[in-house]
Chains A and B, each alone.
Chain A
Amino acid sequence: MKMASLTLKSITKRFGKIVALRGVDMHVEDGEFCVLLGPSGCGKSTLLNIIAGLILQDEGSVLLEGQSVDRLAPRERDVAMVFQSYALYPHMTVAQNLGFGLRMRGVAKQTIRERVLGAARLLGIEDLLNRKPRELSGGQRQRVAMGRALVRRPKLFLLDEPLSNLDARLRASVRLELKQLHGQIQSTIVYVTHDQVEAMTLGDKVVVMRDGRVHQIGRPETIYAFPADTFVATFIGSPEMNLYRGRLLHKDGRPHFQGAGFSMDLGGLQLNLGQGEVEVGVRPEDIEIGEGGNTTLKVKVQMISNVGSEKYIHARLGQGSLTVRAPKEAAFQPGQIIPLSIEPRRVHIFHEGSRI
């Protein structure tokens, strides 16, 4: 199967006075599964439409296999797209929907039939080929939409929140299938979502965006472990990372964080900042319950949320709040004071929003 790399060079797009994209640069390798992740309105769908050629960028360039496609119409770019709403053709049967792209490209009837059947088998929708979209369930429509893209065998697949209209259970299973499918067909995919779970599980590469700007590009585990700034730090991970504003100081040659009502020993960290205003962050699962380590904090339990496999304890720390993960057996009561220990190497430190 043919594949292609995709490069975006400082893509900028304005809608009237609103700047939707501000100089987006990114690169997707051959066969890579790239996820554009961000809150709604961050410009990720606009970016996808620009790659497809449905919207023209004001500045910048889109390159497929190193060649600029800026002057090509959507149909000439050899990309396929799966839409959030599926956008099936309601007046055609499933088979006609699947074969439409090939028919438009003048592929022989016999070949179309074979490829449609092949894609239908791959997605388990052979029995639906003669139905109209209105006779299908949401999950089936989603498959047809995927199939319509697969049949084309394009250089590049673009998926715009393809799972967001499925119910939670179906979404989880289709997500797995999608991952397997990518393993089988090995094609280049750009996938837009606002769901971090989808991004983390599907992506070889995740591009985190906000307000038309790329905040971080990297492997999912890298983005999770080393968020580039406070936005990425809090946007990825659930429950959210605990984040505190305060000052970085040096006591006895060791770095210390002095926050709102508590202080933390950061001894052992190599920091390229002497002292100043910082924000420190710790993920709920990186906090140990009990004494030990450099710093022990006393917090007052406020509320416990039980998600079944584990519990999250919401507690008061100084003038702020803190969330910590606890095993499902943990039996704390609201009002109880518990000790927590935080290892300095688990702490993320941000200066002026960016990681240091």
Chain B
Amino acid sequence: MSREHLEGTVIRILRVVGLIFFIIIVAFPFYWMIVSSFKSLGEILLKPGNLGLDIRKIDFYAYYEVLFEHGFLRYISNSMYVSIVTVVLSVTLATVGGYAVTRLRFRGREFMSFSILFIYMFPAIVLVIPLYVMFSRMGLRDSINLLILVYLAQTLPVALYMLRSYFQTLPLEMEHAGLIDGCSRLGVIWRIVIPLSAPALASVALYTFMIAWNEFLFAFMFLDTPEKFTLSRGVVQLAGSVHLSKQLVMAASVMVTMPIVALFLFFERRLVRGLTAGAMKG
């Protein structure tokens, strides 16, 4: 066996072993969560270590109970509202802002460009207490819209950064062509930059949605009224209740996770690059 051949074989084996290792680490809790959510309470109490799922005994009762008796229908709609509004605002603001720091010359441009990521370097836990105090004094706490504002502040720096990097790759001459052809600046953004940035915009939207959907710390600190809870806040509420049934928490967790997975699968195809092919020479 030649040396190259040996090396190739070893690398192939390592790759398979590594892949299996990571699949187990990532997928097992996921699997456990889904399987448990479909079991009845009796099933879980009788055989707590059972990894399998009996198809004939699939039980949707946990979902029913979580949705209709523990208020999760409300939490889901709250989370949807918060996430979608955050996505729309964040993508819109990041598009115009990112374009401005990429293409327009104005006083303080360098500083702005630099400080975009600087803001992101503060960990949320540092901000949450002063913000808690501030918003409490202002009487703004316990509001879903406030949460949107906080999420916006959290996602906008990265969104701006991502879009700025992408805009820098767009050919300047194409925008010049648009300006000469009769577009205003906003027209150029709307008709040329945005259509060509679809993959980047999709990535930003996905990222923002994920942050807003999964965020827990601020939701936990700022929301007091159960009607205003978001999903992640609701799951914790559920997990902390006295008569806890494991399958309920699992069902709730599935509801938190699934939309993100679905979004990923949906957007994955759209995240392909190379929309600008053909604009330039060669």
Which residues of A are in contact with B by a Cβ distance under 8 Å?
49, 52-54, 73-75, 79-81, 83-91, 100-101, 104-105, 132-136, 138, 141, 148, 152, 165
- The stretch that binds A, out of B24-32, B76-84, B132-140, B174-182, is B174-182
Q: Contacts of A165 on B, CB cut-off 8 Å?
A: 281-282
CB <8 Å contact, B275 and A81: no
Identify A85's interface contact among B180, B181, B182, B281, CB under 8 A. Answer: B281
Q: CA of A84 to CA of B192 in the docked complex: distance in angstroms?
A: 19
B176 pairs with A81, CB closer than 8 A: yes
Report whether A138 and B173 are in contact in the complex, using a CB–CB cutoff of 8 Å: no
Contact status A90-B177, CB under 8 Å: no
Contact A89 B179 (CB under 8 A): no
| Cα(A148)–Cα(B176), bound, Å | 13
Whether A54 lies near B176 (C-beta < 8 A) is: yes
What are 6 contact pairs spanning A and B, CB under 8 A?
A54-B176, A79-B180, A81-B176, A88-B177, A101-B181, A134-B278
From the candidates A81, A84, A91, A104, name the one contacting B183 in the complex (CB within 8 A): A104
Q: Does B46 contact A (CB under 8 A)?
A: no
- Of B171, B181, B196, B277, most buried by chain A (CB within 10 Å of CB) is B181
Contacts of A52 in B (CB 8 A): 176, 180
B residues at A contact (CB < 8 Å)? 171, 173-174, 176-184, 187, 192, 195-196, 275-282
Contact yes or no, B281 A138, CB < 8 A: yes
The reply to whether A85 and B280 contact each other, CB–CB distance below 8 Å, is: yes
Q: Chain B: which residue is nearest A92 at the CB level? A: B195
Shortest Cβ gap from A307 to chain B (Å): 28
Q: State A17–B182 Cα separation when bound (angstroms).
A: 32
Q: For A134, what are the chain B residues with a Cβ–Cβ distance below 8 Å?
A: 277-278
In-complex Cβ contact of A54 among B179, B181, B183 (8 A): B179
Chain A residues with CB under 8 A of B179: 53-54, 73-75
Q: CA–CA, A165 to B279, complex, Å?
A: 13
The smallest beta-carbon distance between A344 and chain B, in angstroms, is 48
Query: Contact: A104 with B173, CB < 8 Å?
Result: no
**Contact status B181-A100, CB under 8 Å:** yes
A104 to B179, CA, bound (A): 10
The reply to whether A105 and B277 contact each other, CB–CB distance below 8 Å, is no
Complex interface: chain A residues within 8 A of B192 (CB): 89
Which residues of chain A are near B180, meaning CB under 8 Å?
Answer: 52-54, 74-75, 79-81, 101
Q: For residue A46, give the distance in angstroms from its CB to the closest CB of chain B.
A: 13
Distance to closest chain A CB from B196 (angstroms): 6
Contact, CB under 8 Å: A87 / B275: no
Chain A residues with CB below 8 A from B184, complex form: 73, 75
Residues of B within 8 Å of A79, CB to CB, are 180
CB contact under 8 A between A148 and B276, given known A81-B176, A89-B192, A141-B281: no
B279 to A83, Cβ gap below 8 A?
A: no
Q: How far is the CB of A109 from chain B (nearest CB, A)?
A: 16
Give Cα distance in the complex from A52 to B181, angstroms.
11
Q: How far is it, in angstroms, between the C-alpha of A83 and the C-alpha of B177 when the chains are bound?
A: 8
A138 to B280, CA, bound (A): 9
**Contact check: which of A53, A75, A135 meets B278 at CB < 8 Å?**
A135
B198: nearest chain-A partner, CB-CB: A91
* A148 close to B279 (CB less than 8 A): no
Q: From the candidates A53, A81, A86, name the one contacting B280 in the complex (CB within 8 A).
A: A86
A80, A81, A86, A100: the one contacting B281 at CB < 8 Å is A86
Interface centre among A49, A80, A100, A132 (most CB of B within 10 A): A100
> Closest approach, in angstroms, between the C-beta of A147 and any C-beta of chain B?
13
A152 to B177, CA, bound (A): 12
List residues of chain A with CB within 8 A of the CB of B282.
138, 165
Cα–Cα, bound, A152→B281 (Å): 22
Considering the complex, give the chain A residue whose CB is closest to the CB of B279: A90
- Please state if B176 and A104 are interface contacts (CB–CB under 8 Å): no
What B residues does A148 contact at CB under 8 A?
Answer: 177, 181
Is there an interface contact between B275 and A89, defined as CB atoms closer than 8 Å?
A: no
What are the residues of chain B within 8 A of A80 when measuring CB–CB?
A: 180-181
The reply to whether B195 and A152 contact each other, CB–CB distance below 8 Å, is: no
Bound together, the chains give a CA A156 to CA B195 distance in angstroms of 29
Q: Shortest beta-carbon distance, B171 to chain A, in Å?
A: 6
Interface centre among B173, B192, B276, B277 (most CB of A within 10 A): B173
Interface contact B277-A90, CB-CB below 8 Å: yes
- On chain B, the residues within 8 Å of A85 by CB distance are 171, 173, 279-281
> A91 and B174: CB pair below 8 A?
no
Q: How far is the CA of A101 from the CA of B183 in the complex (A)?
A: 8
Query: A156 to B192, alpha carbons, bound, how many Å?
Result: 24
Residue of A nearest to B196 (CB): A91
The minimal Cβ–Cβ distance linking B191 to chain A, given in whole angstroms, is 8
Asked if A75 meets B182 with Cβ closer than 8 Å, knowing A81-B177, A87-B171, A91-B196, the reply is yes
CA–CA, A73 and B276, complex, Å: 26
- Chain B min CB distance to A83 (Å): 5
* Given A87-B174, A91-B195, 4 further pairs, Cβ under 8 A: A85-B279, A86-B281, A134-B277, A135-B278
B187, A90: Cβ atoms closer than 8 Å? no
Cα distance, A83 to B280, chains bound together (Å): 10
The 6 closest A-B pairs by CB, nearest first: A134-B278, A104-B182, A133-B278, A101-B181, A87-B173, A165-B281
What is the CB-to-nearest-CB distance from A55 to chain B, in angstroms, rounded to a whole number? Answer: 10
The answer to whether A90 touches B276, judged by C-beta atoms less than 8 angstroms apart, is yes
